[in-house]
Amino acid sequence: MEYANRLEKYAPAQSEAQVAEEVAKMKAAAEKNENTEVYKFCYSSIDLTTLSCNDSDESVTEFAKKAVEFYDKYPEIPNVASICIYPSFVETVGLAVGDSPMRITSVAGGFPAAQTFLEVKSLEVAMAVENGADEVDIVLNVGKMLKGHYDEAANEVEVLRKEAGSDVVLKVIIESGALKTPELIRKASLLSMEAGADFVKTSTGKIDVAATPEAAVVMCHAIKDYYEKTGRKVGFKAAGGVRTPQEAVLYYTIVKEILGDEWITTDLFRIGASSAANNILSAIEGKQIKFF
């Protein structure tokens, strides 16, 4: 399917100076959101993540069981949105979480580089879903984006969207740190949404530059413009390098200010993190906590 020509119906990206100016305003606005209720929401929006070469069935089982224990340990705090792992651990997490409401997110499609055969990407997505993934995070083909092969990049997303099925939440990672410019970040976001993404996500966390507020501003404006054109709400996920409560609140503020209160729900806002969970929990409780 042709996707590049769909970009013509959207306005051009903001300039880097415009983005920087807006980020400065967001940082000022975020100060008023640094409170317990916002911290609790940010905690509930976390996709609690372990994506390490050291992961094993044993370590992932312990990780998942700890997340489930949180329901009883802190009943007054909404638990994290999901547990995010490599596809080979989806079944492991499913066994560990049992009949709890915890959702399972699997990275797939050749994560983190997306540099493999489309057939392999499709099979990996299909196997993750078959094994019980509720949500799948894939990576947009950055190499194709950088060379202007927009139709090819978007068509891969379309194929994986169909492979995942309509009941599975599909998050598309645009790897904003590699795309760098507001123009490419905006195009990648719009193409991903046009091809069926339920979320657009900043980063894999596997390259030097991960989530940035500048990328978030550009992506959220793209989501807003897409919604105004189509009426379909797409979520935003910040991932990679989000560690402190203040950083989480800044992304919350960007979403709230650009997209509005309707996006302040875990159906439309996520944070991909590991260390941030303990830090946000500590901010909520007012003391240092290392639960995970």
pLDDT tens figures, 210-223: 999 999 999 999 99
Q: How confident is the model at residue 274, as a pLDDT?
A: 86
Q: How confident is the model at residue 191, as a pLDDT?
A: 98
Instruction: Tell me the C-alpha distance between 289 and 292, whole Å.
Output: 9
Could you count the other beta carbons within 10 Å of the beta carbon of residue 227? 17
Q: How confident is the model at residue 239, as a pLDDT?
A: 97
pLDDT tens figures, 143-185: 999 999 999 999 999 999 999 999 999 999 999 999 999 999 9
**Burial of 97 from C-beta contacts in 10 A (0-12 / 13-18 / 19+):** buried
Catalytic residue (choose from 121, 187, 201, 256) = 201
Q: How confident is the model at residue 144, as a pLDDT?
A: 98
Catalytic residue (choose from 40, 121, 137, 187) = 137
Q: How confident is the model at residue 4, as a pLDDT?
A: 96
Is 137 one of the annotated active-site residues of the chain?
A: yes
Catalytic residue (choose from 171, 187, 237, 256) = 237
Average pLDDT, the chain: 97
Q: How confident is the model at residue 28, as a pLDDT?
A: 98
Is 237 one of the annotated active-site residues of the chain?
A: yes
Please report, rounded to a whole number, the percentage of residues in the chain having pLDDT higher than 70: 100
CA distances from 76 to 70, 71, 132, 244, 284 (A): 10, 9, 28, 21, 11
pLDDT tens figures, 83-95: 999 999 999 999 9
Instruction: Tell me the C-alpha distance between 226 and 59, whole Å.
Output: 40
Is 72 one of the annotated active-site residues of the chain?
A: no
Q: How confident is the model at residue 248, as a pLDDT?
A: 98
pTM beyond 0.95: the answer is: yes
pLDDT tens figures, 109-127: 999 999 999 999 999 999 9
Q: Is 182 within 8 Å of 216 (Cβ atoms)?
A: no
Q: How confident is the model at residue 214, as a pLDDT?
A: 98
pLDDT tens figures, 226-281: 999 999 999 999 999 999 999 999 999 999 999 999 999 999 999 999 889 999 99
Nearest to 196 by CA among 165, 236, 237, 150: 165
Q: How confident is the model at residue 275, as a pLDDT?
A: 87
pLDDT tens figures, 24-52: 999 999 999 999 999 999 999 999 999 99
Task: Tell me the two tokens of residue 113.
Answer: 């580089």
